[in-house]
Amino acid sequence: MKRFLESCCFATARHYKTIFENQSLDTWQNIENFKKIILENKIDVGNIYVFADSFHSIRVSLLLKYHGFINIFKTHSYIKLDLREKIKEIILIVMTFIDPSGTKNPIIKRVLEKERKLRSSGNTYLKYS
């Protein structure tokens, strides 16, 4: 994905900076780590472009807004999700609405902890298939 975006004239234009975070195990951690990179490097954030399927981009946008980012643009994605994937994403969107921190609601916190533990070992709890 990084190479694709960097090869795209949009992502490499002089006035754009492409930032990648690859240490997280889920979207909640991804946005937290992204914010940490921004703050530690004192990067002035202008517009944020989200490259994801339409369901996932909703969650990313919600989490970015929760963490104080405001200029968020979702790109139109042509990724097709099957019914099971859509149901999973809808559940995750609802979880994000209920607890964007991922730590305040005990049920959501437990689901995320379980998922992170499984993902760190190469498995997934909320898997697509």
128 domain residue, yes or no? no
SS3 47: coil
CA 9 to CA 12: how far, in whole Å? 5
CA 49 to CA 46: how far, in whole Å? 10
127 domain residue, yes or no? no
Task: Cite the beta strand spans of 20-92 per DSSP E.
Answer: 48-50, 72-74
pLDDT at 104 over 50: yes
125 domain residue, yes or no? no
Full domain range(s) for residue 67:
2-120
Domain count for the chain, please give it.
Answer: 1
Q: What is the pLDDT of residues 37-95, one digit of tens each?
A: 888 888 877 778 777 788 888 898 999 999 988 887 777 677 788 898 889 889 999 99
Q: Under a CB-based contact definition with an 8 Å cutoff, are residues 59 and 93 in contact?
A: yes
Residue 124: which of 73, 104, 115, 83 has the closest Cα?
A: 115
Residue 26: which of 78, 87, 84, 92 has the closest Cα?
A: 92
Grade residue 2 by pLDDT with cuts at 50, 70 and 90. low
**What average pLDDT does the chain have?**
80
116 domain residue, yes or no? yes
Task: Cite the beta strand spans of 1-129 per DSSP E.
Answer: 48-50, 72-74
129 domain residue, yes or no? no
Residue 128 is predicted with a pLDDT of 42
Locate 15 and state its tokens. Answer: 């006035």
